[in-house]
Structure 1
Amino acid sequence: MPVAPLDEIRAKVGSAIGVSDWIEVPQDRISAFADATDDHQFIHVDPVAAAAAGFGGTIAHGFLTLSLLSRMAADAMLIPDTTRMAVNYGLDRVRFLAPVKAGKRVRGHFTLESADEKAPGQLLLKHQVTVEIEGEDKPALTAQWLGLIFT
């Protein structure tokens, strides 16, 4: 993750701070996620049935796309240069807006909404994240993501 002085990060509240690299979502990743979560619904693992259901082929689990935020953050999310540890604190709002078809690429757009001291040495960062699908008008998802930083 890119690092910056805390005052510089606080000055970016309300601003777009970064865009991740593209991440491919091939069928083998979707199938591995299905195995890891025991979610083998046909829209994720059966191309013929998924096409007949109107998707044109298999689609990624919404939770798979959401889980890629961690990888996206490594490219785009700023953390203080005094960080000892950063943990996922949760999500305030998630909306799955469009399916990610097998073989598509996605990337995250990050806007810093707030940077508040939760306790001494703890900074709560809230980001609005939109996950774009390459070549599609509608994003895969939007989320308010919370990260707790220990300095």
Structure 2
Amino acid sequence: MPQKVISYQDLATAAGTDLGYSEYRTVTQEQVDTFADAADDHQWIHTDPERAKDGPFGGPIAHGYLTLSLQIPFWAELFEVDGVSTKVNYGLEKVRFPSPVHVGSRIRMKATIASVDEVPGGYQIAVDQVIEVDGGTKPAVVSRGLYRFYA
């Protein structure tokens, strides 16, 4: 169940709403390997743990786009809009990967609704999303997600 549920009628005034933090989840080598197969990106820093030990990160790291894609399950933990017929992931703005995510790391997401705009038939919200690594000094992903909700 999401931490915050907002009705469609109240969405127009939701700008500035702090959605809090998701639960932590651990990034596994199996996830990284599955993502590598799906994305056809088998670079050794992701998929060869033995070679990666001697690489620039001291071990295998998750693909940036894998970490970015985990916003989907994190989002489901944080926020829901009641009273809508359709929800659309409209896109992303200003995506950055300031810090790698080592395999075995625990990550979570913090999110805040930055703005709400009317669009034909509904609302578009911009959400500032930060994925952080447990014990890390820099975020792993910083982005602004755009989502549309239609009544």
Q: Which residue of 1 aligns with 2:134?
A: 134
Determine helix, strand or coil for the equivalent of 1:140: strand
What are the residue-to-residue correspondences of 1:18-57 with 2, within 5 Å? 18-57=20-59
Q: Distance in 1 between matches of 2:110 and 2:10?
A: 19
The residue type equivalent to 1:84 in the other structure is: S
Q: Which residue of 2 aligns with 1:94?
A: 95
Determine helix, strand or coil for the equivalent of 2:53: helix
What are the residue-to-residue correspondences of 1:1-151 with 2, within 5 Å? 1=2, 2-6=4-8, 8-79=10-81, 81-120=82-121, 122-151=122-151
Determine helix, strand or coil for the equivalent of 1:29: helix
Determine helix, strand or coil for the equivalent of 1:107: strand
RMSD: 1.5
Q: Distance in 2 between matches of 1:135 and 1:44?
A: 21
The residue type equivalent to 1:62 in the other structure is: G
Unaligned runs of 5+ in 1: none
Q: Is the CA contact (8 Å cut-off) linking 1:24 and 1:105 kept in structure 2?
A: yes
1:115 positional shift: 1.3
Unaligned runs of 5+ in 2: none
Q: How many matched pairs? A: 149
Q: Is the CA contact (8 Å cut-off) linking 1:77 and 1:110 kept in structure 2?
A: no
The residue type equivalent to 2:146 in the other structure is: L
TM-score using structure 1 length: 0.91
Q: Distance in 2 between matches of 1:6 and 1:85?
A: 11
Q: Distance in 1 between matches of 2:11 and 2:135?
A: 31
Q: Is the CA contact (8 Å cut-off) linking 2:74 and 2:109 kept in structure 1?
A: yes
Identical pairs, percent: 38
Q: Runs of at least 4 residues of structure 1 off by over 4 A?
A: none
1:9 positional shift: 3.8
TM-score using structure 2 length: 0.91
